[in-house]
Structure 1
Amino acid sequence: MTATDFLYITFPVSGVKTWVFLPPLTAFVVSFFASMGGLSGAFLLLPFQMSVLHYTAPSVSGTNQLFNIVAIPSGVWRYAKEKRMVWPLTGAVVIGTLPGVVIGAWLRVAYLPDPKNFKFFAGLVLLYVGSKLLTDICRKQATEQQGNTVLHHAAFAVTDSKFSLQRAEFSFAGQHYAFSVPKIFLLCLVVGIIGGIYGIGGGAIIAPFMVAFFQLPVHAVAGAALMGTFITSVAGVLVYQLLSGFYPGMSVAPDWQLGFLFGIGGFCGMYLGARCQKHVPAKAIKLILCFFVLIAAFSYIIAYLN
């Protein structure tokens, strides 16, 4: 046994064998960039766990959501401190995605236990999210210029929030925004189901939809999307833990040790990402996310076809 052998460990629940510093380091890098766009980074950590760590059991989804619970609070706290939380949007995201995540978790265990089929499904989800990000990047020049001028406005905070069952409004950096509450709710319900299956809490893929379809500013929706991901991930972990009692012969319950190790790195990365976000142009944030999402999507789909 060498002096470094104690750093290479086996996690008894999942059976994963890896260097103890690899999960938090990976989570830190991924969360730093992803949190700028309102994503926790879980949607990128899942392919890492499945392809690099060879963790393909259904419990990987619950472990991914456990990462969200540990990592997200630092980013949400930073966005709230800087008054960049759109609370009406946060409420709509949570209410819509919460029931969807519960349904999605059940579908994952009951109908998608095969790793190969799950990889293909995950690839399609990532491809769709990536294509929407790419579409948003390629929008007309006037919209891009508007997104970049936000960075230089003095009032870089969310103000004048108004909410009703039909419509919500807010102001951000000198611009006024509004969205339909019923439409947001229905969208979040569908995304919540997908997120529950995929193990990302639902809110994690809300941000690209908010920007692409509702023309909301990426710098303002990030905090709301992360808060939605946190709340729904709590429900997701509880559901996977509960379902483990009904599927005793299957690895369903989260790997708590591995999830917390990922979460420690994500906690640090998400705080720094949220703090640095306002200094990064919107187009740059979208390009970073789009690159990683599409790379992961194509790798999953190609692996399934081969």
Structure 2
Amino acid sequence: MRDADLTLAPMRLAIAPPPKLAGVVRYFHIECHSPGAVLVPATPCPMVTFFIRGGSRFAGADGRERIHSAPFVTGPLTSHFPAVWEAGTTFASAVIDAGAFGRLFDVAPGELRDAVVPLADAAPDWPGIPALEEQLRGGKDSGTWVAHLSDWLLRRLDQREAGLRRGVQPFSLPPLMLALPTEEIAARFGISVRQLERRVMASYGQSMRDSRRMMRYIRALSRMIATPLRHGGLTRLAVDCGYHDQAHMVRDFVQYTGLAPKALMDSAADPAGALRLLRYDDASRPIVTREDY
């Protein structure tokens, strides 16, 4: 059975959530023994991260670099994010489906956009954070870590769902609907365009325009990770993913990852490089690259 173990060499896994968390957690990301500089690409998905060993150094809002080892949450990242992981760093992240953030948190994802916020600050009412940290640090493999994190999230989800049934439900937009004109989407929900824009911003932390832009980028990146590009493949990929042309796609990739598509994948081929987060084993790859954006 494939697994990450604290006694093994560096390893990265993506693990699908249990059925009850489907539609809320996209997947669990496990990073084991992965020190050094890393570049986190832009993503529409918020994340909740617990360190099992080590920590991460990155610059805060004041520009000063600090070591972070406490649980934290990020909203959508609209640009690449550099960090340095300490020796022995191992962590488990729950990657939250874009638009599902409100099912777990009261804070709007827009308030966490491009930010790393201690979980205790973003969710002060969440019980059991120290107990979960202890459980995770006492575990020895990814199966145990994911089980503990899943149980904790399910308890939180059950508590939130009970409250949400009595209040306003988070706005959820089927990702493929983003391909439709804004006016048509608003008509399908029976609301005005202005109301639609407000609800999308509240649930996704981005405007409709920016959500569409990121959807194209994520779709293209997922296909690049899933299948190596052949000669001339970038032009076809750009058209298939909704770009006007290859130059249009290159501009977005530079914004979101810091590199043009081909240079990005060349850099990702280095297992110890800063873009190693784009490298997954054969079992993990379909979980990360499934297309429902």
TM-score (norm 1): 0.23
Greater share of strand residues, 1 or 2? 2
User: Structure with the greater relative contact order (CA < 8 A, sep ≥ 6): 1 or 2?
Assistant: 1
Greater share of helix residues, 1 or 2? 1
TM-score (norm 2): 0.24
